[in-house]
Amino acid sequence: MNRAFNFSAGPAALPLPVLEAAAAGMTDWQGAGCGVLEMSHRGAAFSRIIAEAEADLRALTDLPAQYKILFLQGGATLQFSQLVMNLLDGGSADYLVTGTWSKKAYTEAARLAPQLGGTVRLAGEAVGGVVPREAMQLDPQARYIHLCSNETIHGIEVLDEAQLPECGDVPLVADMSSHILSRPMDFSRYGLVYAGAQKNIGPAGLTILFIREDLLGRAAAITPPLLDYATQAAHDSMLNTPPTFAIHIAALVLRWLREQGGLPAIAAQNAKKAALLYDTIDASGGFYRNTVAAACRSRMNVPFFLHDAGLDAEFLAGAAERGLQQLKGHKSVGGMRASLYNAVPLEAVRALCDYMQDFARRKG
Ligand SMILES: Cc1ncc(COP(=O)(O)O)c(C=O)c1O
């Protein structure tokens, strides 16, 4: 086996024990006589799998009892539309924009809202950081406030609850796709949280959603049943065939996460990884730079730039030779990006930092 250190932004590295368990059970999962790919979603074996996934998610996140967990499809992108259909309820919604993903969510909401008899407001915008509280212009009557708590492309993360809007009774909605399960969070602050699975939870094709029960049942009349949170909740995410294999892998990841010591333990590891990489960037004397405000530098996605973009191709080729993969930055911003999700080990970050120092010595 020759597994590289994988810094992909998503679909991203998965823990090796998870892949091995999935492979070992591919043709016969725990004596079921078939693999998870081949079994009915309504049978006893799969019912156990999804129940375990839900129980582990609740335990890991300490999710309050009044929240439902939904296992959905369509990626986080479908949520940009679906949450509007479910929560706008003929009113107005506030959006905070801090990068590509929150901008996409806002743009889609602005497109849909008039068709649903509602409106959307840009309540604050920031470049290279979170929106400062004093710059937020919040509507106390808003149906919800939306933000992206970790901008995967720009590497901007809400690291401190004091950076969240003061919502009063307005439900806070967060796209947590790229940092959910990376550390303990107080989910009682949110009305709705959603995340595509393909970073910290499992494979692409599964979206996890936490929703406070009082927000169910507000969908616009035109909402298809499959997209209505209340209908999905009433059917335990089994209104139609769910993405069974993706849920199976997610269940294995969640078990692995519990075995690592849960979110406090993984958070300590993630903080160490991020500190190592940011220190390497900051100590490079300008050879590498990251331009995000220090108070919101993402621990999951670290974009960085070489002082001379003409060296990018050589940097990437040398990294690949050392088994350091998928470091090219998003095409919209260029440069490099290292994603340090839960399954990326500390050794991977050490190897990356050693390489960066060596490259800077040779080229600086
Ligand atoms: C923060 C964030 N939101 C939304 C998306 C879109 O996710 P999907 O491709 O699952 O629709 C991504 C994808 O990387 C993301 O990082």
The mean of the pLDDT values for the chain is 97
Residues 117 and 237 in one domain: yes
In this structure, is residue 4 part of a structural domain?
A: no
- Looking up residue 306, the CATH number of its domain turns out to be 3.90.1150.10
pLDDT band at 1 (very low <50, low <70, confident <90, very high): confident
Do 226 and 277 have their domain in common?
A: no
Q: 137-175, pLDDT tens digit by residue?
A: 999 999 999 999 999 999 999 999 999 999 999 999 999
pLDDT, one tens digit per residue, over 23-56 is 999 999 999 999 999 999 999 999 999 999 999 9
Residue 2: what pLDDT? 84
Do 125 and 25 belong together in one domain?
yes
199 is catalytic: yes
Which of 8, 104, 177, 209 for mutating ligand 1's site (highest number of atoms within 8 Å of CB)? 177
Q: What are phi and psi of 175, to 5 degrees?
A: -85, 105
Residue 197: pLDDT band by 50, 70, 90 thresholds?
very high
The reported pLDDT for the residue numbered 354 is 98
The band of 204, judged by pLDDT with boundaries at 50, 70 and 90, is very high
Range of the domain at 217: 16-259
Q: What separation in Å is there between the alpha carbon of 73 and the centre of ligand 1?
A: 12
Same domain, yes or no, for 186 and 303? no
pLDDT of residue 163: 97
Q: If you average pLDDT over residues 11-21, what whole number do you get?
A: 98
Ligand 1 atom with the shortest distance to the CA of 198 = 10
Q: Are residues 205 and 194 in the same domain?
A: yes
Q: Within this chain, do residues 245 and 320 fall inside the same structural domain, yes or no?
A: no
**Domain final residue pick, 209, 242, 259:** 259
Query: How does pLDDT run across 264-280, given as a tens digit for each residue?
Result: 999 999 999 999 999 99
Domain identity same for 94 and 123: yes
One domain for residues 300 and 267: yes
Ligand 1 atom 1, closest CA: 177
Domain count, the chain: 2
Residue 74 covered by a domain: yes
Of 220, 244, 259, which residue sits at a domain end? Answer: 259
Query: How many other CB atoms are found less than 10 A from the CB of residue 191?
Result: 23
Q: Examine the pLDDT at 331 and tell me if it is beyond 90.
A: yes
148 Cα nearest atom in ligand 1: 1
Is position 114 within any domain? yes
Choose, from 199, 228, 256, 273, the residue flagged as catalytic.
Answer: 199
Is residue 10 included in any domain, yes or no?
Answer: no
Instruction: Give the domain-ending residue among 194, 224, 259.
Output: 259
Same domain, 196 and 295: no
pLDDT in tens, 89-115: 999 999 999 999 999 999 999 999 999
Q: Are residues 315 and 180 in the same domain?
A: no
Q: Is residue 6 part of a domain?
A: no
Q: In which band, very low, low, confident or very high, does the pLDDT at 364 lie, cut at 50, 70 and 90?
A: confident
Domain contains 8: no
Return the CATH number at 36. 3.40.640.10
Which amino acid does the sequence have at 4?
A: A
Same domain for 35 and 135, yes or no, is yes
**Ligand 1 pocket, residue 101 CB under 6 Å:** yes
Q: Partners of 97 in the beta sheet?
A: 125
Q: What percent of the chain has pLDDT over 90?
A: 99
The CA distance from 123 to 105, in Å, is 13
Tell whether 215 is covered by a domain: yes
Q: Provide CB contacts within 8 A for 219, sequence distance 6+.
A: 85, 86, 227, 228, 229, 230
Q: What is the DSSP string of 251-274?
A: HHHHHHHHHTTHHHHHHHHHHHHH
Q: Do 359 and 236 fall within a single domain?
A: no
d(CA 84, CA 219): 9
Burial class (CB in 10 A: 0-12, 13-18, 19+), 137: exposed
Q: Is residue 313 part of a domain?
A: yes
Residue 331 falls in the annotated catalytic set: no
> What is the Å distance from ligand 1's center to 11 Cα?
10
